Amino acid sequence: MAKSGDSDDGSAGGWPGLLSELTKSFLILRDIFGYALPGAVFLAIGVLCHRLSLYQLQCFMKPYHLPAWLMLVLLLGACYTVGHIMAQVAYFPSNWKTWRKTVNAKEGAKNMGGAKDEANAAEKTEHMGLDPVLIELRESHPELLTELERQSTVSQFRGGAGAAMLLGFVIFYVIPITLPIGLLLGIAGVFQLFVFWLSGIPHIDELKSDTIQAGKSAMEKDKTPLPGGKVAGGH
């Protein structure tokens, strides 16, 4: 027979575990709506403007005899990749503004000498300072992030879809000639690398720092003594 303590632990952990799984599923949906759909919008504009030919694509893929499901996966991957470019275009002004703030803060640290702490504090924007809290909430109370995740997904889709419509209009409608696919891939690659250098690596460094901070806070809470003399998180 299971002990009452085990039963309580199982029931207590079941609901947060279910919410955690739902949150992970929602993150997958966010990738689909935030990246794949805007990418599909861009490619659909090319098809509607008769600049991209589905018939030529079918003729190109026919000799390979790929199953339908694999074709669907490849198409989804293409939409997802294009969608990342659309999202980067949409977020580029914000990324550029953040990058300029960071550069100015570092320059200020060099000029002020003894006031480096103030400059380091200025490096991080207000929303970045909240990241460790959000990381802890995702683990302990994921239900509190539901509306935030929903609104961020909607905003990401709006930005990506808007960029897809604008770039699709310019590339497939305004420009009178069909640009070679190699040229488009080259331009997209240069832009991807530039944005990666501008905001990708700094973002990962900040996320790593915030995750470590959230982890330290969680471990401190696990070591906090309970009224009965037990340690939180212990057995």
Q: What pLDDT digit, counting tens, does each position of 177-217 carry?
A: 888 888 999 999 999 898 888 877 777 777 777 777 777 77
The pLDDT assigned to 47 comes to 92
Angle, vertex CA 137, rays to CA 213 and CA 89, nearest 5 = 80
The residue that leads in pLDDT, 15 or 25, is 25
Mean pLDDT of the chain: 76
Percent of the chain with pLDDT strictly greater than 70: 70
Tell me what the mean pLDDT of segment 33-59 comes to.
90
Do 154 and 30 meet the contact criterion of CB atoms below 8 Å apart? no
Largest separation between any pair of C-alpha atoms in the chain: 77
The pLDDT assigned to 17 comes to 56
Please say if the pLDDT value at position 133 is more than 70: yes
Q: In whole angstroms, what is the distance from residue 129 CA to residue 59 CA?
A: 52
Please say if the pLDDT value at position 64 is more than 70: yes
Please say if the pLDDT value at position 7 is more than 70: no
Rg over alpha carbons for the chain, rounded to the nearest Å, is 24
pTM of the complete model beyond 0.85 = no
The pLDDT assigned to 100 comes to 82
Please say if the pLDDT value at position 28 is more than 50: yes
Lowest average pLDDT, out of 1-15, 47-61, 157-171, goes to 1-15
Please write down the long-range contacts of 209-216, taking CB distance under 8 Å and 24 or more positions apart: 210/128, 210/131, 210/132, 210/135, 211/132, 211/135, 213/132, 214/131, 214/132, 214/133, 214/135, 214/136
The pLDDT assigned to 9 comes to 44
The pLDDT assigned to 163 comes to 95
